[in-house]
Chain A
Amino acid sequence: MKLPAFAALPKNFLALAGIVLLAIAISPVAADGSRVFLEIGNLTDILRQISLIGIISLAMTFVILTGGIDLSVGSVLALSTSLTAMWLTRGYTHSVAVAILVAVAACALAGAVNGLVIAFTDIQPFIVTLASMIGVRGLAKWLSSNQNIDIGFGQDLAAHFAAVFRQKALVIGSYAAASAAFWTLLSRTVFGRHVRATGDNERAALHAGLPVRSTKVWVYTLTGLLSGFAGVLYAAENHQGNPNAGVAYELDAIAAVVIGGTRLSGGKGSISGTIVGTLIMGVLTNMLRLNNVDSNVEMMIKAVIIVLAVAVQRGKGGNGA
């Protein structure tokens, strides 16, 4: 059967296009006759709202491509929000850059520990990162004595930080820049090829002399780093360090990756797919909220969409996973 030209597009793009068209079709109409969904303010709301999960899911794509999983991203984000707020509000530093660097470096270190344990023992990534999900959450709560560390709206360093880093343009720009960097890393570098090879057939990759272990250490380090950066943005957006932040974010990130067509067993997938997967979830949430769909029904609809979106891609012309 000859398919029309647009069918050559990856199936997840079609799924996204379908949801966007539906969102436009059923969008509430503003007083001036325009569609609320298409307002620039609303569209940028969506992008800002998906940016944190979006950033985490970029790195999660790498982890899943190696055949691994990282359950600790939400806890690492919480650690980052707490460290950022502590450094800024308790006078440990007079530089926003130092505070961010401390938070992100600590999170990259947490990721590196995950990676080292996974690469040099035969404990499965699920178990290693489950342990760090618990442990890092504990660390964040311990460091902050279970308290939220509020960032005020005054004239101090912390307030200045929040005012800058909660700007829509900066948040969305960060997501865009990270997306570009990770797309390049995966599709244009030797490291990217090693990531895929590790997940595709680890034994073959080892026999071929590829640096499987260091690849694994790096992907988990990158996940820690990006989760940490997402935590910095969270602290600014929410004006607080919050050791209870990010619960279940790992599931949202994993959902975005698999909706984007990356095979959960590794080897096959793409950054562009993950971005589309993230957008699908973001547009869907916005569409349902704009139409005031009951939040319990919203969860049921999302469940159906997740399965259908993956089913669409597994059809003819999908990535054959």
Chain B
Amino acid sequence: MVHKCAGAALVAAAALAIAGCSGPAKKQFFVAFSQANNAEPYRAAQNELMTQLFARQPDVKLVISDAQQDNSRQVAQVETFIRQKPDLLIVAPNERAALTAVMGQAMDAKIPVICLERDILQPNYTSYVHSDNLTIGHMAGEFIVEQLQKKYGAPRGNVVAIRGLLGVEGEINRDKGAREVFAKYPDIKIIADPVADWIQAKAKDRMTEVLRAQPKIDVVYGHNDPMAVGAYLAARELGRDKEMLFVGVDGLGGEAGGIKKVMDGVLAATFVYPLCVDKAVDVALHILRDSSFRPEKEYRIIPTLVTSANAAELYGK
């Protein structure tokens, strides 16, 4: 009898779990959002803000799926969304090439598609809302040059770059932008550029090795805030945190975000890589409610420099 009881329990458990998850009610807009990876703080913040903004609209039901940083899983989830015929699909692609075709399928199925933040290979979207990592790279590079100028009276010094997942657009351009700036100053040297895959714990380990090898470091440029913080923790452990400045990127709000780290004096600066969600939701609502609305093919959101001067003000927002 064991198997029968187990079988019954199996069905009951699944049915129970699904109760209350029925499809969207009539006369409601159904918006599907395929998120690349809920586990990254930046993306968790996107999800939270999007949930908040759509919750203010009683006629919109939002569903978010999490691809857990897996291309195949995200393709599958978008395919399944297409079967559900949502009124609008928002995709934050895990990687450019992988999602291009399936987003084309959504367009073919006459579903308006908003591509959020990461680019794809073909313009298979109604509108693309993104910020610009190359500009962030330039802004970070210029900020670092300015700090070195202040410190030595001339633009010179040793920089450590902590790199995110290689091959990803954000990583490529945050790196490239800063290097383009440094290239104008031969006395500014990137003396190490370990890869920490966006992860704080890895950055701490990689930075510890750099600290052992490099007696003199002026600035650490983490390509995201968690990696800059990881580098700070490594330097602090070895009593060298006062020797250098730490610069990050992302500038998330909240207790664990980069803006708070600037207020705490851990980071000298960070750059708010905009969540892009405000604009995306705005565009989405216009598409849903106004059939004559024609969105721009592309919206670019400008990044913000955060230092001790404006951190508290931004944190309050």
Contact = CB atoms under 8 A, between A and B. Distances in A.
Interface of A: 11, 14-15, 18-19, 22, 26, 28-31, 36, 39, 41-42, 45, 49, 52, 146-148, 150-153, 166, 234, 237-240, 242, 244-245, 247, 285-293, 295-297, 300-301, 304-305, 308-309, 311-318
A26 B19 CA distance: 9
Interface residues of B, number: 47
Contact of A239 (B22, B23, B68, B121): B121
A147 B166 contact: yes
Contact of A315 (B4, B21, B68): B4
Given A45-B83, A52-B72, A166-B101, A293 B95 contact: no
A245 B84 CA distance: 28
B38 A295 contact: yes
A148 B99 CA distance: 14
A239 B4 contact: no
Contacts of A36: 83-84
A240 B98 contact: yes
B265 interface: no
B17 A18 contact: no
B95 A289 contact: no
Given A153-B122, A237-B72, A291-B18, A313 B3 contact: yes
B11 A22 contact: yes
Q: Top 7 closest A-B pairs, CB basis?
A: A315-B3, A238-B98, A146-B166, A239-B97, A315-B2, A240-B97, A295-B66
A239 B103 CA distance: 13
B147 interface: no
B312 interface: no
Interface stretch (B73-81, B232-240, B253-261, B281-289): B73-81
A49 B79 contact: yes
12 contacts: A28-B84, A42-B83, A49-B79, A146-B166, A148-B95, A237-B75, A237-B98, A238-B97, A242-B98, A289-B65, A314-B2, A317-B3
A286 B80 contact: yes
B11 A238 contact: no
B63 interface: yes
A14 B7 contact: yes
B179 interface: no
Contacts of B79: 45, 49
A217 to B, nearest CB: 30
A152 B97 CA distance: 7
B108 to A, nearest CB: 12
Given A11-B3, A308-B9, A239 B101 contact: yes
B215 interface: no
B18 A18 contact: no
B13 interface: yes
B166 A316 contact: no
B158 interface: no
B154 interface: no
A305 B121 contact: no
Contacts of A239: 97-98, 100-101, 121
A316 B3 contact: yes
Contacts of A148: 95, 97, 167
B10 A308 contact: yes
B213 interface: no
Given A146-B167, A153-B122, A290 B6 contact: no
A196 to B, nearest CB: 24
Contacts of A146: 166-167, 195
Contacts of A286: 80
Contacts of B65: 289, 292, 295
B135 interface: no
B18 A26 contact: yes
Contact of A318 (B3, B11, B63): B3
A245 B97 CA distance: 13
A183 to B, nearest CB: 25
A45 B80 contact: yes
Contacts of B1: 315-316
Contacts of B13: 301, 304-305, 308
Contacts of A152: 97, 121
Given A11-B3, A238-B71, A244-B165, A150 B84 contact: no
Nearest to B94: A238
Contact of A29 (B6, B7, B23, B165): B23
Interface string B1-42: 111101101110111011001110000000000000010000
Interface in B244-291: none
Contacts of A317: 3
B70 interface: yes
A45 B76 contact: yes
Contacts of B9: 308
Given A18-B7, A147-B166, A147-B167, A292 B63 contact: yes
Given A237-B98, A301-B14, A311-B6, 10 more contacts: A15-B7, A22-B14, A26-B18, A30-B85, A45-B76, A150-B96, A153-B101, A239-B101, A291-B18, A293-B18
B98 A308 contact: no
Contacts of A311: 2-3, 6
